[in-house]
Amino acid sequence: MKTALGAASSSAAAIPDDPDVAVALMAHLSGAAPCPILRAIATESRIALRAAVDRKPGAPLQVITDALPLRELLTSSAFVNVLRERGWDDDAIAEEIVMLTFAGWASISAVLESACTVGVGGRSVTAFDVDELLRLAPPGWLITRELTAPTVLAGCTLPSGILVMTSPWLIQRDAAWWPEPGRYDPHRPGLRKSAAYLPFGLGKWACPAELYSRSILLELLRRRDAGAAAVTIRPALIDERSACLMRMGTDTR
């Protein structure tokens, strides 16, 4: 799947400019054009995802949505081709696309929102802008792990069963690492190599779509007008999970 997402990143220019990012991602990965069926799957999945998040402890997890209508729309996108070559059937590919879209659409939307707030957009946007947006406002603001065994971390022995939390948002805005951390500056030296930079997480469970997300964001940001940077800004959540920067009060777009 990671290889298929890698292939899809090289066809980022084909992503449709749809106002609903979930529809745009689903269309790009499947090769289908945005259409009422994709919109219906996107809407149903959001409702089902919210119900899954809000369910009572112990209640069964419902499937996010029926991916069958998407199977009928699959064409030969870079993503689909790689999975078919590897023996995946179209049912499995459609399910994977729905799952990936709902793992990723809010993060992409959050970065687009932050870019609009700080006035980033247009043909001059570079990969450095994407890097700095992901530092200033990482959508994955909190990463958690439940320990399944006693673990030694930074010299402390932690018991099994506890929750360990890491916040890319706090680390990437720590003044000990980042001078003027709240300022947007795409020319920060060594940004991506810094140990205090982890917008996609780190290690075995890091986001499988880092390359894909960077390509898609660069493409979408280059298509948008920058507009003026907001004067007053507040942090906010997209879909109650992905962090971004938003304009405040009367300072509207």
Nearest-10 crossing angle of helices 90-118, 36-54: 80
The answer to whether residue 76 forms part of the interface with ligand HEM (CB under 6 A) is no
Q: Which of 104, 171, 238, 244 binds ligand HEM (CB under 6 A)?
A: 104
Q: Based on CB atoms, which residue is closest to ligand HEM, 77 or 107? A: 107
Q: Which stretch binds ligand HEM (CB under 6 A): 32-40, 87-95, 136-144, 174-182?
A: 136-144
- Does residue 100 touch ligand HEM according to CB under 6 A? yes
Among 125, 213, 230, 243, binds ligand HEM (CB under 6 A): 213
Least distance (Å) between residue 231 CB and ligand HEM: 25
- Per CB under 6 A, the list member of 7, 37, 52, 143 interacting with ligand HEM is 143
What is the SS3 assignment for the chain?
A: CHHHHHHHHCCHHHCCCCCCHHHHHHHHHHCCCCCHHHHHHHHHHHHHHHHHHHCCCCCCCCCCCCCHHHHCCCCCCHHHHHHHHCCCCHHHHHHHHHHHHHHHHHHHHHHHHHHHHHCCCCCCCCHHHHHHHHHHCCCCCCEEEECCCCEEECCEEECCCCEEEECHHHHCCCCCCCCCCCCCCCCCCCCCCCCCCCCCCCHHHCCCCHHHHHHHHHHHHHHCCCCCCCCCEEEEEECCCEEEEEECCCCCC
Asked if residue 165 binds ligand HEM (CB under 6 A), the reply is no
Candidate ranges 37-45, 78-86, 121-129, 197-205; the one touching ligand HEM (CB under 6 A)? 197-205
Q: Which is nearer to ligand HEM, 6 or 140 (CB)?
A: 140
- Considering the complex, state which of residue 128 and residue 251 has its C-beta at the smaller distance from ligand HEM: 128
With a CB cutoff of 8 Å and minimum separation 6, the contacts of 204 are: none
| CA separation for the pair 63, 49 (Å, rounded) | 9
Question: Binding ligand HEM by CB under 6 A: which of 12, 67, 108, 221?
Answer: 108
**Total number of residues that touch ligand HEM (CB under 6 A):** 21
User: 145 or 231: whose CB is closer to ligand HEM?
Assistant: 145
- Binding segment (CB under 6 A) for ligand HEM, from list 44-52, 195-203, 233-241, 245-253: 195-203
Q: Which of 30, 45, 107, 114 binds ligand HEM (CB under 6 A)?
A: 107
What's the CA gap between 165 and 168, in Å, rounded?
Answer: 10
> Does residue 115 touch ligand HEM according to CB under 6 A?
no
List of residues contacting ligand HEM (CB under 6 A): 100, 103-104, 107-108, 111, 134, 138-140, 143, 199-201, 205-209, 212-213
